[in-house]
Structure 1
Amino acid sequence: MASEYGLKRHFNGEAARLIGDKIRTVHLEFDVEGYAAEVEARIPGKELKDRVLVLAEGLRTRLPADYPDALPILLSVLGNELAEGEGMFNASWFLMPVARFVEEYGLDHPDASLDAIEEITKRHTGEYAIRPYLVQHHALTMERVGKWAQSPSHNVRRLATEGIRSRLPWARTLTVFVKDPLPVLEILEPLRSDPSEYVRKSVANNLNDISKDSPEVALATALRWLEESPTPETNWIVKHGLRTLVKKGDQQSLAILGATGGEHLRVPRLRITPGSVTIGDTLVINFDIENTDDRPHNIAVDYVVHHVRKNGRTIPKVFKLTTLELGAGERRSLEKTHTIKEVQTRRYYAGEHTVDIQVNGLVQATERFDLHT
């Protein structure tokens, strides 16, 4: 998904003009320049969601006051449905304020609004717009979601799973599904081997959300799916849906994914160079891994960087490294480069950083490096 920072800079007066020009082809009195000027004046200092809200508010004051009259005007400018692989934040990013319009102003007209969300998601996404409807019109919305899960449109099927994620990024947590994920799993059932990669990724993300609050439910579901639907598509979904548990070293999730022999695996040598770095430098993590058993084992290898925070405490971040089969008695050398660079979600602070090598969820070796900022 595109970063929030990367998206927010697009929502400005030019975005308002782009949307306004499309609206004016069907609603001649729409004030495009007034809309663009208002947006440009109100967005300074605002982050992504607040910028999108500014554009939605500007639409509300310039379209017919009656929501059922305004909605068809917006829907008439949506364009063609996105094909598989066309990113919503590439081809149709400018439709985010249209979805926000339905999210903010359509709750008194749930049937028409859910129809609109279905059409919007074919060209953009309705995963955020649907959230208040799940709260205020829960039964009606879940009935619709169940129908969406059977849709011939991969975009609509994806909405059925993405819209009900309990911990969707950039959205409020849906506590109703945190407490009881079973209604969500009922929706996911027909999608557990979906032909669309777009849908499968969403199903995996949803299963991963469930694993954070109800790991036993997620594990039981993953195991049942693999038994009842032994397809490459289901296997991919389960692998990615259990990723948080795997990173935490959960042994049951590792066993489900075929990782075995943890008690026979060791890392007798680990070296990190250089031992002292600054931001922008690259570390080289070099180590040996050994299988002491008399039979081969499938293994998952991760490394964990314990980042120093401003208060001096550390927070671990798990990075996937590789999966491989290690033969009986085999010893193999692995190497990974890791660049110390700040990203949108992480800042670095000076201090001693610890690096763990984690094999099948168990820490087998630890080394350190110093970071100077």
Structure 2
Amino acid sequence: MAAQLKDFFDTALVQRLGASLRAVHPTFDERAFRRRATDGLDALELLDRGRHLMRAMHAGLPARYEDAIDVIERSLGPVGNIDAVSGMAPFFYLPHTMFVAEHGLAHPARSLDAMHAITQRFSCEFAIRPFLEQHRELTLARLDGWVTDPSPHVRRLVSEGMRPRLPWAARVRWLIEDPEPGLARIARLVDDESETVRRSVANHLNDVAKDHPARAVEIARAWVRVPAREKTVRHALRTLIKRGDAGALEVLGVSSARPECEVRGAITPARVKRGGEVRIDATITTAAPLDAVIDLVVHYVKARGQTSAKVFKWTRASLAPGAALALTRRLSLEERTTRKHHPGEHRVEVQINGTRFPLGAFVLR
């Protein structure tokens, strides 16, 4: 059986974490920490394991927050390469970020100093949210300085930490209602030398688009005038493109008018069991030249029998009159934590520049 992400926080990691703290704070009771940290650990999921280790750290560190966070800072390992980091290794510092978020709110200036250091090992995008909520002006002032920080990890935190709809993070209501403070700061990062920072900028604008689509399109229209920003703009508009938003399509240089084309195809097999897959073939022909953004739409059956459309990016293509564009895609129906499959007829469509064309259906048994 494949290892689960939560298993990263195991007994070996507990030993490493305890050793790193004792190395800089000799009175840290490493044995007691290991006992607390491993007690009940196996029953917990990923984030709860991180929180469990954070509480074990807190029990063994100095009672005074300033002293405890000093130990944590001195225990940090080397900074990683932001554009090369992959895998679970940075999660070693998840408990450290949780420590600041849970125990540092009464000491905002010192906690922001600590986040500056910790985020260069593991992003403090979750930890900074309560500080944006409870210490808004102080945190924004610090973020202003971080926009030009030498560390790309820190610059990324400016954008990622202020994302209005950061996945799995606590909502900061004012960031959703008023995107302007975030937009002002990502405007200074859109040309950042780090691809990872620019990716965060695109994700930030994509979040804004979910609640303020016209404002997001306005920003994208201004940004796309610089050719080097095209990739960032495409990624930032992905949600609006899937919705068929006319303004977003216009920014990418395509028309939102209903295209004069014909879509034919096949879905095989017509009946499939959960855990299997279907092959989707589509052929598109057009009567006039067409610059097309093409997406796949699957209407998944939900638990109560209703359906919900999921749009998948497919391709972008330029079609000549009379020419046929053949596309193929395989759709997995394996169970995932993010999607449970239910039996019934699943309709399939091809979306071209925001207009949907029926392709067929398959039945999930």
TM-score bracket for the superposition, by shorter chain length: over 0.9
Is 2:301 the counterpart of 1:308? yes
Query: CA–CA distance in 1 between the matches of 2:76 and 2:87?
Result: 14
Quote how far apart the aligned CAs of 1:366 are. Answer: 3.2
Offset at residue 27 of structure 1 (A)? 1.0
Amino acid at match of 1:249: G
Secondary structure in 1 aligned to 2:24? coil
Partner amino acid for 1:217?
A: R
Contact 1:271 1:287 (C-alpha < 8 Å) held by counterparts: yes
The TM-score normalised by the length of structure 1 is 0.93
Specify which of 355, 358, 361 is matched with residue 365 of structure 1: 358
Q: Is the 8 A contact 2:164 2:172 kept in 1?
A: yes
- Aligned to 2:250, what secondary structure does the other structure show? helix
Partners of 2:12 and 2:342 in 1: CA distance: 38
Residues 48-79 of structure 1 show CA distances to partners (whole Å, capped at 9, x for unaligned) of 22221111111111011111111111111211
The offset of 1:269, in angstroms, is: 1.2
Tell me which of 155, 163, 166 is aligned to 1:165: 163
Deviation at 1:329, TM superposition (A): 3.5
Aligned to 1:10: 8
Cα distance in 1 between the residues matched to 2:207 and 2:25: 42
For 1:16 and 1:313, how far apart are their aligned partners in 2?
46
Read off the aligned partner of 2:283 and give its amino acid letter.
Answer: D
- Name the counterpart of 1:25: 23
1:39 equivalent in structure 2: 37
The answer on whether the counterparts of 1:267 and 1:365 sit within 8 Å (CA) in structure 2 is: no
Residue matched to 1:298: 291
The gaps in structure 2 that reach 5 residues or longer are none
1:247 lines up with 2:245 in the alignment: no
Mapped partners of 1:268, 1:73: distance in 2:
64
Give 1:13 deviation, angstroms: 3.6
Q: Equivalent of 1:259, from 235, 254, 260?
A: 254
Root-mean-square deviation (Å):
1.6
| 1:75 alignment counterpart | 73
State the TM-score, normalizing by the size of structure 2: 0.95
How many residues are aligned here? 363
Secondary structure of 1:9's counterpart equals helix
Q: Deviations over 1:269-319 (max 9, x none)?
A: 1211110111232212112112212xx322111111111111111111111
Matched, 1:231 2:224: no
Tell me if structure 2 keeps the 8 A contact 1:16–1:32: no
Q: Which amino acid aligns with 2:357?
A: Q
Q: Equivalent residues in 2 for 1:97-176 (5 A)?
A: 97-176=95-174
- Give how far 1:32 is off: 2.0
CA deviation string 1:212-235 (max 9, x = no partner): 0111111111111122xx132x21
Q: 1:89/1:132 Cα in 2 relative to 1: closer, same or farther (>3 Å)?
A: farther
* Residue 166 to residue 88, structure 1, CA distance change in 2 (3 Å): farther
- Report the Cα offset of residue 84 of structure 1: 3.2
Q: 1:354 aligns with which of 327, 338, 347?
A: 347
% of aligned pairs identical? 37
Q: How many angstroms apart in 2 are the aligned matches of 1:145 and 1:88? A: 25
Instruction: Tell me the CA shift for residue 179 of structure 1.
Output: 0.6
* Paired residue secondary structure (2:187): helix
Structure 1 gap ranges (5+): none
Query: 1:46 Cα deviation (Å)?
Result: 2.8
The separation in 1 between residues aligned to 2:180 and 2:61, in whole angstroms, is 41
AA partner of residue 269 (structure 1): R
Aligned twin of 1:189: 187
Q: Does 1:344 align with 2:340?
A: no
Q: Distance in 2 between matches of 1:89 and 1:114?
A: 26
* Letter matched to residue 281 of structure 1: G
Aligned to 1:94: 92
State the AA in 1 paired with 2:270: G
Shift of 1:39: 2.1
| Cα shift at 1:364 | 1.6
The answer to whether the Cα contact below 8 Å between 1:211 and 1:245 also exists between their aligned partners in 2 is yes
Q: Verify the 8 A CA contact 1:205 1:240 in the aligned structure 2.
A: yes
Structure 1 stretch displaced more, 196-205 or 358-367 = 358-367
Asked whether 1:61 is paired with 2:54, we answer no
